[in-house]
Amino acid sequence: MGNLRTKDLSKIGYHNDQLRSLVIGLAAKNFKHHSKQELLDLLVNIKHDPKAFLDNELTQKIAGKIIGKTKTVSFQTYELREEPVLCKTYGGKHIEASAKRQMELANLLPVSVQGALMPDAHMGYGLPIGGVLATDNAVIPYAVGMDIGCRMALSIVDENDGFLKRYAYQIKQALKSFTHFGMEGGLEIRQEHEVLESSLFNELSFLKPLRGKAVRQLGSSGGGNHFVEFGEIEMLPENSLGLPARKYVALLSHSGSRGLGSAIAKHYTQIAMNSCKLPRHAQQLAWLDMNSEAGQEYWMSMTLAGDYAKACHERIHLNLLKALGLKAMMVVDNHHNFAWKDRLANSKEVILHRKGATPAHRDELGIIPGSMTTPAYLVSGKGAEQSLYSASHGAGRAMSRQKAKDNMTVSAMKKMLGTAGVTLIGGTVEENPLAYKDIETVIRAQHDLVNIQGKFFPRIVRMNKE
């Protein structure tokens, strides 16, 4: 079968993005022995008389989608493997046992192909934070996580580090005016971005009511460990970005897809749990078959949430730099809560889930932050297959939020910030520097995964104040 493309489907009257994705997914699996023309002729016939194709196992999903009639999703029960799939752990000495157990459970899924655990790993829901999992034609909503598309973005500006001291007041005012933190609300000035015009908001009924909130929250950052900060970045000699080795001003942000991603995660996790029955202790790792309608819908919705998260960072950076009369000379950004189609060295195509892990294919750029008083590292990947082309997404938590609260006072944190030369706007003791692992130890543990290109030092940090 020749490659079936969306434009081929448009020519024969298949204009709905959701329907086209479903057709392409099913065609690749169920119609391999049809020529492209035979398949297009069949699709024309299904479109003209969909009811006639409802009883055929191969065509019923397409026909049902066309007439809006879908069969009730039945569930299937699965057992776990007796032995886990191959999983390489980095920096295991500093990873809590509960996170290792979570990863081992994920490696027992019948759809799992390979796993990896990053040195910043700690316990999460479903897959541990810092967990990477390759699966066979299956996507696990909880292995992507609640904050779909959570990501880092770094803008490097052609100013020296003296700029931060001279314009500290203006930077603080800009951060207060052009960022918004917290679970609700957004920026006072309405933000525009093409992602809001996505046809998916109309095509998927459950997304329709979420668009209004997405409009309000565009360009905002949420809570928890999300931040927007100005600092200085020291580029190393012969760095892969081709920048002269010196210090520059940089803007670094960390946040995700806000209420939109959370709603998508909840919706499809429930569908997965209803249709894929696993032993109770593994139920959060329920998956969606990539050839199913729900699998295709989740993939499109996840992609939309990722695009929305990227749009939020674009608005944050554009607004702040414009307010300060600055322009980015270079931007580095990528998701660390997402799923991708990828290939392993044996050419096997897999669905690669990263839940709190930075993509690190060969020469791929990424950012690994420490804490509000410790450096973030600008890195390039080495393309290590054992790590599933991944690296850590930060230092990783050493304390739960409650423990961090119990072990740090506001005055002690202020003293730490002062010693490090950092100004904090907002923030809580839950995110104090001691709540995180030592970033230098975490970076050393992934020497085989990344090359260091630069080192970013936070100077003026904006976070949520609970």
pLDDT in tens, the chain (466 residues): 457 888 888 889 888 878 888 888 888 777 877 888 888 888 888 888 888 888 777 788 888 888 875 444 568 999 999 999 999 999 999 999 999 999 999 999 999 999 999 999 999 988 999 999 999 999 999 999 999 999 999 999 999 879 999 999 999 999 999 999 988 888 888 899 999 999 999 988 889 999 999 999 999 998 889 999 999 999 999 999 999 999 999 999 999 999 999 999 999 999 999 999 999 999 999 999 999 999 999 999 999 999 999 999 999 999 999 999 999 999 999 999 999 999 998 888 999 999 999 999 999 999 999 999 999 999 999 999 999 999 999 999 999 999 999 999 999 999 999 999 999 999 999 999 999 999 999 999 999 999 999 999 999 999 998 6
The residue among 300, 272, 267, 296 whose CA lies nearest residue 286 is: 272
Integer Cα distance of 351 and 140 in angstroms: 9
Q: Is 153 annotated as a binding residue?
A: no
Q: Which residues participate in catalysis according to the annotation?
A: 393
Q: Is 94 annotated as a binding residue?
A: no
Domain ranges for the chain: 6-67, 151-463
Q: Is 395 annotated as a binding residue?
A: yes
pLDDT, residue 466, reads: 63
Q: Which amino acid is at 361?
A: H
Residue 23 near residue 4 (C-beta atoms within 8 A):
yes
| 433: phi then psi, degrees, rounded to nearest 5 | -55, -35
Q: Is 147 annotated as a binding residue?
A: yes
Q: Is 328 annotated as a binding residue?
A: no
- Give pTM, 2 decimals: 0.85
Residue 186 near residue 220 (C-beta atoms within 8 A):
yes
The CATH superfamily assigned to 151-463 is tRNA-splicing ligase RtcB (3.90.1860.10)
Q: Is 91 annotated as a binding residue?
A: no
Q: Is 267 annotated as a binding residue?
A: no
Q: Is 393 annotated as a binding residue?
A: yes
Q: Is 254 annotated as a binding residue?
A: yes
257: tokens are 């897809």
**Which residue shows structure tokens 């951060």?**
175
Q: Is 337 annotated as a binding residue?
A: yes
pLDDT, residue 70, reads: 47
Q: Is 279 annotated as a binding residue?
A: no
